[in-house]
Structure 1
Amino acid sequence: MSAADIKTAGPEVSVPRAPDGDGPAPSAPRKSGWTNGPLLPYLLIAPAVVAIAAVFVWPLIKTVIMSFQDVGRRELWTGEAADWVGFEQFTNILGDGEFYDVVWRTVLFMVICVAATLAAGLFLAHSMQRMSKAVRLLLTGALIAAWSLPLLVATSIFRWFADSDYGVANMVLTKYLGFDFQGHNWWLDPKQGFLMIGAVVVWGAIPFVAVTLYAALTQVPSELEEAAKLDGAGRLGVFRYVTWPVIKPVFQMVATLSVIWDFNVFGQVFLMRGNKPEKEYNLLGLYSYEKAFESNSFSQGAAIALITVLLLSGVAVYYLRQLLKIGEVE
C-alpha cells in the first residue's frame, strides 16, 4: 500500500448487518419526548380531566354566576345578559321561613334513611358470613340485581305497593296483621308518604352497603376472633374490639357516601308523587327545582343549589380524608 493510500484511508467502520445478511439492520426507533417524557401521565389523564370539567366544573361555575344574577326565562333562552343583583337571591332565600322547613325536613329524612341503610346493610353483611357459598352467591346476585334496577322501575313497583286499592302494603297489613288499612291512602299524611319514599331510597342503597361491608368483614383475621372468644369475649365484645377496628374506615366511607346521596334525593320523591310533589314533600333538590322551573326564578334555583353544595362541602372533605387514610393504611 502506498503512502497516499495510507493517508486517504480512514478508520474502518463496521456496518450492522441484518440477520439474513442481505443488508444493513434497521435502526432502533427513536423515542419521542411526548411518549416517554414527564408529560406522558398528564396526556393520559387529559381526556378524563376535560370530561370532568365539562360535566361538573363548568356547570358549577355557571351555577355560581347565575346565583348572583337575575336570570329569567327570557335571558335563559335568548342568551341576553342578565342583571347582576349581588347577594339578593341569597338574602331572599335565607329570609324565607319555608327554606328552613325544607332544610330541616331534608336533614331528618337523610338521617333516618342513612341509619336504616347502614343498620340493614351491616346485618346483611354479617349474615352473608354465616351463609353457605351457594346461598351467599344467590343473595349477592339478588342484591346486585336490585341495585342495578332503574329508578323509574323501582319507584313504579313501590307506588304499586302503596296503592290505596290494590297495594300490597294495605293487603298485608289488613289480611295478615289484623290492621284496618283497607283503602288506606299513604300520601295524605306526609309522614306516611315519606315512609314509602324512604323505603325506595333504603332498598336501592342496601346492596352497595351490604356488599361493601361484607368485603370489609372478610379482611378481619379469623385467628383474632377465635382468640377473643377463648378469652371469654361475647359476640358484642368480639365485634367491638376485633371486628370494628378493621371495618371502621370502610364503614365511615360508606356512611359518608350515604349521607351525600340521601341528602340529594330527588328522583324518588319526584316519581313517587307523579311528577307533581306537594309542598309538604319538598326536599332541597325539589325546592331548587320548583323555584327554577315552576316559578321561573332560575337564579333562585341556582342559589339554593349552591347553598346545598356548601352544606355538603364539609361532608365531602371528610369523605376525601377517609379515602386518603385508607390509602395510607394500604
Structure 2
Amino acid sequence: MTITEAPVSPPGNAGRKDRPAGAEPSVRRRALAPYLLILGAVLVLLLGMGYPVVWQIVTSFQKYGALQQLGGKAPDFVGFDNYIAIAQDGTFWAVTFRSVIFCLATAFVTITVGVLLALLMTKIHAAARFTLQIALLLAWAMPVIAAMTVFIWLFNRQRGVVNYLLSMIPGVDMKGFNWIGTTPLLFFIVASIIIVWMSVPFVAFSAYAGLTQVSGEVLEASQLDGASAVQRFRFIVFPVLKPVIAIVLLLNLIWDLRVFAQITLLQDAGPKSTDYDLLGTYIYKTGVAGLDFGAGAAMSIFVLALTIALSWFYVRSLIKEEGK
C-alpha cells in the first residue's frame, strides 16, 4: 500500500490563496492611494502653518528689533533671555490671567446660547425656523469690521441706541455713559457680547445638525413614560450632542483665547491702556508696535502652549470617542 504525502506549503505562505501575477503591487498601490491623495493638503499645511511656527520658535531665541527687521543687523542669539523676561513681567501674567478668564466665560456663554437656539429651532414652526436661521447666517457672515462699527455705534456714549433705550426706563439716566472707557470690566462685557453674537451662529447650526440625529420616537416614548423635559435632554438629547458640543467648545476656546480684531477696534474707540489688553493685543503692542519681535515671538509660543494645555482635555476626550 503506497501512502502519498500531501505537499507542505512554506510557513510564509500558510493560509494564503494563490494570487495572479502582479496582484501584490496592485494591492500596495491601493493601500498608498489615500496617503497620496492627502499629500498635497499636508504639504500646503506644512508650508502655510509650519513655517510661521518654526520662524516664531527661532525668533523667540533671538534679539530681533527694528535694525534686524530692516536688514541692517543680523539677529543675535540670546538663548532663553526673552522667556525669562516675560516670566518676570507682571503685566504679562495679569494679561494672561485676564485672557483665560475671558476665554472660558465667553466660550461657556456661547455654547449655552447656541444650544438653546438649536433646541428652539426644533420646536418652532418651519417659517419661524427659516427666519431665525437666515438671521443667524447673516450675523455669522457679517465681516468683523462692519460688525464692530455697528456695535461701537450701539454703545456710543452720545448717540448710542443702548443708552437711549436704557434711559427710557423710569429712574434710569444713561445719557453720556461710557461703556468702553469707564472700567475694564464693562469694556470686556461689551467685548464678550460682541464675540458671543458673532460665534453663536456656528454653535447653533452645529448643535441643530446634531439634534436632527435624535430619534423622535424615543423622545415620544420617554414622554409617554413620564420623563420630564430635563430628563429627556439629559439622558437622550445630551449624549447625542456631547461630541458636537466638545468640538465646538474646543474651537471656541481656541478662537476666544486668540481674539484680536474686536479688542483692537474697541480700544481704538476707547482706552488703550494695558488694563484693557488681552494676549493678542498685548503681543501685538510688544512685538510689532514696540519693535521687540523676539519677545513677541516668545509670547506667541507661550500662547501656543497655553492653547494646547486648555484644549488637551477635550482632545483626549475626542480621541477616546474615536477609539470607541
TM-score, scaled relative to structure 1: 0.84
Does residue 168 of structure 1 match 2:166?
Answer: no
Per mean C-alpha deviation after superposition, the further-off stretch among 150-159 and 187-196 is 187-196
Does residue 44 of structure 1 match 2:44?
Answer: no
Deviations 1:244-269 (A, max 9, x none): 11111111111111111111111100
Q: How many equivalent pairs are there? A: 297
2:149: which partner in 1?
156
Distance 1:283 1:317 in 2: 22
1:195: which partner in 2?
189
Instruction: Name the aligned partner's letter for residue 300 of structure 2.
Output: A
Instruction: Name the aligned partner's letter for residue 274 of structure 2.
Output: K
Identity %: 35
| Contact kept in structure 1, 2:154 and 2:161, CA below 8 Å | yes
Distance 1:193 1:316 in 2: 26
Unaligned runs of 5+ in 2: 1-25
Distance 2:185 2:115 in 1: 26
TM-aligned CA deviation for residue 50 of structure 1:
2.5
2:275: which partner in 1?
280
| Structure-2 change in CA distance of 1:192 and 1:141 (3 Å) | same
TM-aligned CA deviation for residue 229 of structure 1:
1.6
1:300: which partner in 2?
295
TM-aligned CA deviation for residue 281 of structure 1:
1.1
Unaligned runs of 5+ in 1: 1-32
Distance 1:37 1:220 in 2: 37
2:115: which partner in 1?
122
Distance 2:174 2:78 in 1: 52
- The SS at the match of 2:268 is coil
Per mean C-alpha deviation after superposition, the further-off stretch among 48-57 and 315-324 is 315-324
Distance 2:251 2:107 in 1: 9
2:205: which partner in 1?
211
| Contact kept in structure 2, 1:257 and 1:319, CA below 8 Å | no
Distance 1:113 1:97 in 2: 24
Higher relative contact order, chain-length normalized (CA < 8 Å, sep 6+): 2
Distance 1:163 1:326 in 2: 47
TM-aligned CA deviation for residue 162 of structure 1:
0.8
TM-score, scaled relative to structure 2: 0.85
| Structure-2 change in CA distance of 1:241 and 1:79 (3 Å) | farther
Distance 2:190 2:284 in 1: 22
| Contact kept in structure 1, 2:253 and 2:311, CA below 8 Å | no
Does residue 91 of structure 1 match 2:84?
Answer: yes
Does residue 146 of structure 1 match 2:116?
Answer: no
Per mean C-alpha deviation after superposition, the further-off stretch among 240-249 and 316-325 is 316-325
Per mean C-alpha deviation after superposition, the further-off stretch among 229-238 and 313-322 is 313-322
TM-aligned CA deviation for residue 136 of structure 1:
0.9
Per mean C-alpha deviation after superposition, the further-off stretch among 287-296 and 221-230 is 221-230
Between structure 1 and structure 2, the one with the greater Rg is: 1
| Structure-2 change in CA distance of 1:173 and 1:322 (3 Å) | same
Deviations 1:141-188 (A, max 9, x none): 111111011000010010001100110110111014642111111122
- The SS at the match of 1:232 is coil
TM-aligned CA deviation for residue 127 of structure 1:
0.6
